[in-house]
C-alpha cells in the first residue's frame, strides 16, 4: 500500500511554506501568454476537488455506520478546503475581479473542468469507495509532483493538500482491500463498481494543449509520467483485494476537462448553486 514519502515531503513542505512566508514573487501568475492555460488548469484541479467533495458530502447522515459517516464528512471537508485554495489562485491568475466563490457558484456546467469520474452518482458504498480510491491514487501522485512545482504558489497549495490526500489514499486503499477480500457479497459489489468506473478512470491522464502548456512552464508534471505510478498503486491494491482489473480501455469517457459532462453534473450544480443564484450576493 502506498505511503507518504517521509524523506521527501518535509523538504517540499518547508520550501512551499518558506515561499509563502517570504511572499516569493511567482512569475507564472502574471505571465500574460500563459494565463489562459494556467487559469483553465487551476480550474481543473479545483473543480475535481469541489465536485468530488460535494458528492462525498451527500453521505453525511446517510452512511451505513457512524464511523464511515464521520470519515466521509471529513474527506469532503478536506476536498472543499482544497477547492478554496485552487480556485482562489485561479481567480487571481484570471484577474477579472472574480473570487473562488464566483467560480464555484456562478459558472454554468459547460464552464466546469472536472473529470467525469468525480461527478458520477454515489451508488452504494462499493461505488463510492472504488471511485474515491481510483481518484486518490491519481491525486496523491499529482500533488507529490506539484509540491516541487516551479510555481511557488502551486507548490505551497500542493504541499498542504498532500498531507490530507495521503490519508485519503491510505483510507480508501484499506477499504477496497477489506471489502474486496471480504464476503462474497462485498467482493461482488466491489468488482461491479470497478467494472463500471474503469472506463472513466483514465481521463486524468489524457493530456491536451492546456496540460502540455503548464508542463512546459514547469508548473505541472507531464501527465503520462504519473501513469506508471498510478498503475502500480492500483495493481497492488486490487491484487490484495482479490479484484480483477478490467481488460479494456480505461479512458473511454473523456471530455470533462474541456467542459463536456454527463447529465449528473447539472443536478449537482442545481443543488449546490441554488442559494447564490436565487439570492445573489447572499452571505451568512
| Domains of the chain, CATH where assigned | 29-278 (1.20.1260.10)
CA distance 165 to 111: 26
Contact between 269 and 262 under an 8 Å Cβ cutoff? The reply is no
Label residue 70 by pLDDT band (50, 70, 90).
Answer: very high
Which DSSP letter does residue 61 get? Answer: T
For residue 199, is pLDDT > 90?
yes
- Mean pLDDT of the residues in the chain: 92
Label residue 282 by pLDDT band (50, 70, 90).
Answer: confident
For residue 90, is pLDDT > 70?
yes
Tally of CA atoms within 13 A in the half-sphere of 19 that contains its CB: 23
If one compares 121 and 28, the residue with the highest pLDDT of the two is 121
Q: How many CB atoms lie within 10 A of CB 21?
A: 9
As a whole number, mean pLDDT of residues 69-79 equals 96
Label residue 30 by pLDDT band (50, 70, 90).
Answer: confident
pTM: 0.91
As a whole number, mean pLDDT of residues 202-224 equals 97
pLDDT at 217: 97
Q: Is 162 in a helix, a strand, or coil?
A: helix
pLDDT at 160: 97
Matching residue, cell 495521503: 166
Q: Between the ranges 9-23, 24-38, 218-232, where is the mean pLDDT highest?
A: 218-232
b (16+ CB within 10 A) / e for 3-17: ebeeeebeebbebbe
Provide, rounded to the nearest whole percent, the portion of the chain with pLDDT above 70: 91
Provide, rounded to the nearest whole percent, the portion of the chain with pLDDT above 90: 85
Amino acid at each position: 500500500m502506498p505511503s507518504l514519502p517521509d524523506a521527501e515531503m518535509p523538504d517540499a513542505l518547508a520550501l512551499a511554506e518558506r515561499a509563502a512566508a517570504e511572499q516569493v514573487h511567482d512569475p507564472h501568475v502574471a505571465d500574460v501568454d500563459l494565463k489562459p492555460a494556467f487559469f483553465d488548469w487551476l480550474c481543473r484541479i479545483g473543480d475535481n476537488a469541489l465536485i468530488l467533495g460535494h458528492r462525498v458530502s451527500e453521505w453525511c447522515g446517510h452512511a451505513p455506520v457512524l464511523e464511515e459517516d464521520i470519515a466521509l464528512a471529513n474527506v469532503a471537508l478536506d476536498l472543499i478546503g482544497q477547492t478554496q485554495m485552487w480556485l482562489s489562485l485561479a481567480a487571481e491568475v484570471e484577474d477579472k475581479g472574480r473570487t473562488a466563490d464566483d467560480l464555484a457558484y456562478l459558472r454554468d456546467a459547460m464552464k466546469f473542468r472536472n473529470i467525469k469520474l468525480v461527478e458520477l452518482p454515489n451508488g452504494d458504498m462499493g461505488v463510492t469507495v472504488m471511485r474515491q480510491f481510483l481518484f486518490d491514487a491519481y491525486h496523491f501522485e499529482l500533488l507529490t509532483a506539484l509540491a516541487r512545482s516551479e510555481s511557488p504558489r502551486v507548490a505551497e497549495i500542493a504541499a498542504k493538500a498532500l498531507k490530507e490526500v495521503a490519508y485519503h489514499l491510505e483510507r480508501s486503499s484499506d477499504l477496497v482491500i477489506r471489502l474486496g477480500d471480504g464476503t462474497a457479497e462485498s467482493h461482488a459489489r466491489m468488482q461491479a463498481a470497478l467494472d463500471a468506473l474503469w472506463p472513466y478512470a483514465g481521463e486524468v491522464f489524457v493530456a491536451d494543449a492546456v496540460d502540455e502548456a503548464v508542463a512546459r512552464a514547469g508548473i505541472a508534471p507531464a501527465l503520462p509520467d504519473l501513469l506508471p505510478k498510478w498503475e502500480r498503486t492500483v495493481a497492488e491494491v486490487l491484487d490484495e483485494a482479490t479484484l480483477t482489473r478490467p481488460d479494456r480501455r480505461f479512458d473511454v469517457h473523456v471530455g470533462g476537462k474541456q467542459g463536456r459532462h454527463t447529465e449528473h453534473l447539472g443536478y449537482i450544480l442545481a443543488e449546490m448553486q441554488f442559494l447564490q443564484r436565487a439570492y445573489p450576493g447572499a452571505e451568512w
